[in-house]
């Protein structure tokens, strides 16, 4: 059986008046949801474990409402669906359900236009099943190497892919926060899905763009490798983002896996264990959205 040790923390930052980020750590087998900042250890049972981060957007407190709805809907939907359903179908359908709930709520007074990103990892069996909408991120640290296992659904990512911008230029581009889609903006959403085969001592990190916009992947790698504990790594990363302005909310989840998993094989790359099942959308007639 796979074991997961995980810690999550969210911070308002230094500029925003509210925290529009939300996250969930849920053991779907026992129904246990982590609500305090504490390191927890799960045996990943037959229903799996859900890790998710959501970054809200919208006027007044609407962004805060949207992100909280996204992660709670994901947890509730995945708990209620049959455990025999294929894992990627389970997380994909849960994301669609969450999108419709936010879409419906966004038509209420004071919530017009609200939306949120979603990055979810559903740990089940010996794999992490990935669902992505927007530009929150998931990374994998394995054998000392760090790889982003989600792909930003953002305007600058399109420019990078086309060769119009380098990743270094994109990091300071004025449109770097413009995303192609968000949860709750339309009745249906195109969820990018992936499957990551896990190995012994893999370390997973999920974050909102309050971290990834200010702290590089190499810095994330170094912090995790140097930290004595998961909570220390989270706190160091959040403090680093705040030292660089803290102009956005910052959320970080870090989890390490162990137990009945294949060992790391010499020469095997992370990319060889990552399967893209459904691609993210291209920029279409609806245009990008701010986040």
pLDDT at position 147 is 97
Instruction: Read off the pTM.
Output: 0.93
Give me the phi and psi of 74, to 5 degrees please. -60, -50
Q: What is the mean pLDDT of each run of 10 residues along the chain (291 residues)?
A: 97 96 97 93 96 88 93 96 84 97 92 94 97 97 97 86 82 80 94 97 98 96 98 98 97 97 93 90 48 57
Residues 236-276 pLDDT 10s = 999 999 999 999 999 999 999 999 999 998 999 999 999 99
pLDDT at position 290 is 54
Cα separation of 220 and 97, whole Å? 32
94 neighbors 110 (Cβ within 8 angstroms) = no
Cα separation of 16 and 243, whole Å? 15
User: Which stretches does DSSP call E strand in the chain?
Assistant: 2-11, 21-27, 32-33, 40-43, 49-57, 115-116, 118-124, 127-133, 137-142, 145-148, 178-179, 192-197, 203-207, 250-259, 274-278, 289-290
The candidate with the shortest Cα–Cα distance to 105, out of 50, 75, 61, is 61
In 106-188, which ranges are continuous DSSP H helix? 155-162, 167-170
Cα separation of 129 and 267, whole Å? 23
pLDDT at position 188 is 94
Q: Tell me the sheet residues that pair with 133.
A: 118
pLDDT at position 281 is 57
What is the DSSP code (8-state) at residue 182? -
Domains, the chain, ranges and CATH? 2-150+182-282 (3.60.40.10)
Cα separation of 83 and 125, whole Å? 12
DSSP per residue, 59-128 = TTTHHHHHHHHHHHHHHHHHHHS-TTS-HHHHHHHHHHHHHHHHHHHTTSTT-TT-EE-EEEEEEETTEE
């Amino acid at each position: 059986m796979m074991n997961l040790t995980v810690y999550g923390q969210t911070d308002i930052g230094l500029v925003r008046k509210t925290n529009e980020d939300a996250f969930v750590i849920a053991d779907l087998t026992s129904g246990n949801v982590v609500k305090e900042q504490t390191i927890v250890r799960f045996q990943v049972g037959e229903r799996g474990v859900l890790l998710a981060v959501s970054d809200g957007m919208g006027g007044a407190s609407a962004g805060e409402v949207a992100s909280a709805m996204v992660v709670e809907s994901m947890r509730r939907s995945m708990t209620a669906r049959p455990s025999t359903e294929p894992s990627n179908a389970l997380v994909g359908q849960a994301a669609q359900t969450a999108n419709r709930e936010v879409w419906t709520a966004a038509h209420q007074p004071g919530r017009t236009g609200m939306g949120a990103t979603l990055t979810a990892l559903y740990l089940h069996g010996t794999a992490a099943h990935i669902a992505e909408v927007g530009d929150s991120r998931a990374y994998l640290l394995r054998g000392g190497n760090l790889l982003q296992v989600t792909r930003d659904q953002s305007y600058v990512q399109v420019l990078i892919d086309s060769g119009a911008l380098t990743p270094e230029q994109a990091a300071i581009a004025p449109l770097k926060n413009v995303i192609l889609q968000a949860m709750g903006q339309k009745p249906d959403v195109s969820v990018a899905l992936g499957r990551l085969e896990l190995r012994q001592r893999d370390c997973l990190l999920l974050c909102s763009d309050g971290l990834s916009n200010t702290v590089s992947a190499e810095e994330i790698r170094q912090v995790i490798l140097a930290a004595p504990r998961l909570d220390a790594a989270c706190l160091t990363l959040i403090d680093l983002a705040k030292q660089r302005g803290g102009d956005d909310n910052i959320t970080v989840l870090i989890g390490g896996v162990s137990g009945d998993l294949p060992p790391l094989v010499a020469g095997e790359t992370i990319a060889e264990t990552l399967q893209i099942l459904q691609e993210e959308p291209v920029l279409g007639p609806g245009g990008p959205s701010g986040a």
